[in-house]
Amino acid sequence: MPSLTDAQPTDRHPFLTNLGERVRTLRARRGLTRKAVAQAAQVSERHLANLESGTGNASVLILLQVAEALQCSLFELLGDITTSNPEWLLIRELLSNRSEAELHRIRLLLSERLGNPAEDQARRQRIALVGLRGAGKTTLGQRLADDLGYAFVELSREIEKFAGCSISEIHNLYGTHAYRRYERRALEESIQIYPEVVIATPGGVVSDPATFNEVLSHCYTVWLQARPEDHLARVAAQGDMRPMAGSREALEDLKRILEGRSAFYAKADMAFDTSAQDLETSFQRLRAQLREALQVETA
């Protein structure tokens, strides 16, 4: 495939070709001439012609100027899926400027409307634990599964089975995209195989929206929270001293990761703080809260 910098008129890069088609379509939709758009975008008409033909490799700032001239977002110009047809555009317009709470309610209503009662009941018999490493997902997850009589799945181990190598080897040999594919496959198979299960998910499961949506759609999701200091201490207690090698830097990195992921973790059905008490107390309180939420009869 030709690179963006090497693309020639006779060997146009597919991205540039599609970009040019979108520019022409948007210009036609707005009823604007090429000259008018070029003037509004403060670029030469020839430059715009090259862009529309798929032979021009415009900078991000130029694309931003063209988007403003066409009165559209940069995402629409670049081909975001939510701009691919009129229905997507109308739906996106309805959702724009909504608060986080409103969007959350809308997502739940859509899930309920598009799903079915049987699947909702099945979702409540699968419990997914999310959160950073060291939150207690494996330890508490195994105990919950034993208490409920459910299967227990540590998703990281299932990913390694699919790949035939360790998590670190997957990243080193095949890259992050391959890891995400294995993660999605392992999750889907666990959901399909086990009608009653407790799943301990990797901390980064929220990094892929499609995979995390599978978690939220098919499992009653619990965010196990902990103070950053506890995360590091627990990982070290498991025998992994690497995070402690530069403890101050590691703590700051962990805080940044947690800050970046918290908005997604917060989409869970329940949040539970594992730093507030010891392991046994955490288990008993989490057990009680889950049984009340899921209306599980005490054995």
For the chain, domains (ranges, CATH) are: 14-95 (1.10.260.40), 116-294 (3.40.50.300)
pLDDT-based confidence at residue 243 (cuts at 50, 70, 90)? very low
- Does 244 have pLDDT greater than 60? no
Residue ranges of E strands in the chain: 126-130, 151-154, 197-200, 220-225, 270-273
Would you say 200 and 129 are in contact if contact means Cβ atoms under 8 Å apart?
yes
Distance CA 197, CA 187 (A): 12
The residue assigned the tokens 């992050």 is 176
Encoded tokens for 266: 């917060």
pLDDT of residue 270: 94
Residue 207 has pLDDT above 90, yes or no: no
* Distance between CA atoms of residues 110 and 22, nearest Å: 30
When pLDDT is cut at 50, 70 and 90, the band that residue 296 belongs to is: low
Distance from C-alpha of 196 to C-alpha of 127, rounded to nearest angstrom: 8
Residue type, 139: T
Task: Name the residue among 131, 126, 94 with its Cα closest to residue 110.
Answer: 94
> In this predicted model, what pLDDT tens digit does every residue of 91-120 receive, in sequence order?
888 888 899 889 888 887 887 777 666 677
**From CA 50, how far away is CA 38, in angstroms rounded?**
12
Please compute the mean of the pLDDT values over residues 16-23 and round it to a whole number: 87
Q: Under a CB-based contact definition with an 8 Å cutoff, are residues 52 and 20 in contact?
A: yes
The answer to pTM > 0.75 is no
Quick: pLDDT tens for 145-171: 999 999 999 999 999 998 999 998 998
Separation between Cα atoms, residue 284 and residue 290, nearest integer Å: 10
255 vs 261: CA distance, rounded Å: 10
